Amino acid sequence: MATTTPTLNQTQTVLRTENLNVYYGNFLALKNICLNIPKNKITAFIGPSGCGKSTLLRCYNRLNDLVDSFRCEGKVYYYNQDLYASSIDPVEVRRQIGMVFQKPNPFPKSIYENITFGAKINGYRGDMDELVERSLRQAALWDEVKDKLKQSGLSLSGGQQQRLCIARAVAVQPQVILMDEPCSALDPISTIKIEELLQELKEQYTIVIVTHNMQQASRVSDMTAFFNVEPTGKGGRMGYLVEHDNTEVIFQNPQEKSTQEYVSGRFG
Ligand SMILES: Nc1ncnc2c1ncn2[C@@H]1O[C@H](COP(=O)(O)OP(=O)(O)OP(=O)(O)O)[C@@H](O)[C@H]1O
């Protein structure tokens, strides 16, 4: 997939879904999602359990392809490229659109190798030591690990492991970082560190974060998308986008009553 070097201003759209329906088998998990993700901003996905936040996140880097029953209708664009076109290589999509998961999942390799692994696969020809240092600095981890790069990534604390995973994600120089509840397994201090880190990362990357933590969404994100879920009548439950706006609007003056109730903790 060709890299489109963005030349427009800060409000350029990086990811765009148009009338996206997502199914697992016959089950409609997400209905008619139309959503733009702006460049160099943090967009938070919030909503009750099962409304499809993770499903949508995984559509952006084609991770759902690994689920046999997955099928989608409508379009997902990355810049102007149709991400589900037959010419698109999902592996290249995942290089440009990286992901950090709920549970820190470093490879059972050294800290150094965790960073160089993806770069080697991609045939990176630059200086590996420099890449390791730059990536660990970007993830605010360098000072804590610079003297033990040969130690296993698994020897680090949970918060450090998650920052290692962020360093591993940025090492392959993606455009977008998707984060699926990246702090839910972390203590409050590690959580604050990651939140501070996000503010630095958005200078270079576009970030989409799923979070159940309303304070976190309001603290870290520029834009917020609120999703809800409703019964389909056939015993199923369908997720849909209720509204998407500046985070301040969603938290202080949303258009929809259900958004107001959710962000104020009255349901969900
Ligand atoms: N691999 C799968 N196979 C079948 N159904 C799935 C699969 N993954 C998710 N689902 C279903 O799709 C719906 C949306 O799930 P998803 O995990 O995207 O929601 P979510 O909003 O992220 O939930 P949570 O906040 O609990 O993580 C749910 O009903 C879920 O059971």
ipTM: 0.98
Query: What is the distance in A from the centroid of ligand 1 to the CA of 62?
Result: 15
Look up residue 140 and give its DSSP letter: T
pLDDT digits (tens, 9 = 90+) for 88-137: 999 999 999 999 999 999 999 999 999 999 999 888 999 999 999 999 99
Residue 158's φ and ψ, nearest 5 degrees, are -55, -45
Q: Which residue has the higher pLDDT, 190 or 73?
A: 73
User: 127 CA distance to ligand 1 centroid (A)?
Assistant: 41
Q: Hey, what amino acid is at 168?
A: R
Domains of the chain: 13-108+175-264 (3.40.50.300)
- Which residue has a Cα nearest atom 8 of ligand 1? 55
**Residue 128: what are its φ and ψ, rounded to 5°?**
-65, -40
Shortest-distance Cα residue to atom 2 of ligand 1: 24
Q: Could you tell me if 259 and 238 are in contact, meaning their C-beta atoms sit under 8 angstroms apart? A: no
Closest alpha carbon to 55 in 83, 23, 86: 23
Residue 73 has pLDDT above 90, yes or no: yes
**Ligand 1 lined by 54 (C-beta under 6 Å):** yes
**Which of 33, 51, 99, 229 for a ligand 1 pocket mutation test, highest count of atoms within 8 Å of Cβ?**
51
Question: What does the pLDDT look like over 170-219, one tens digit per residue?
Answer: 999 999 999 999 998 888 998 998 999 999 999 999 999 999 999 999 99
Confidence band for 6, pLDDT divided at 50, 70 and 90: very low
Helical pair 158-171 and 128-138, crossing angle rounded to 10 deg: 130
Task: Report pLDDT for 8.
Answer: 44
What pLDDT does residue 197 have?
92
Question: 56 alpha carbon to ligand 1 midpoint, in Å?
Answer: 10
**Smallest Cα–Cα separation from 114: which of 182, 165, 172, 174?**
165
Residue 55 CB–ligand 1 contact under 6 Å: yes
Best of 55, 58, 67, 102 for a ligand 1 pocket test (most atoms within 8 Å of beta carbon): 55
Answer whether 190's CB lies under 8 Å from 158's CB: yes
Whether the Cβ atoms of residue 166 and residue 198 lie closer than 8 Å to each other: no
pTM, whole model, 2 decimals?
0.93
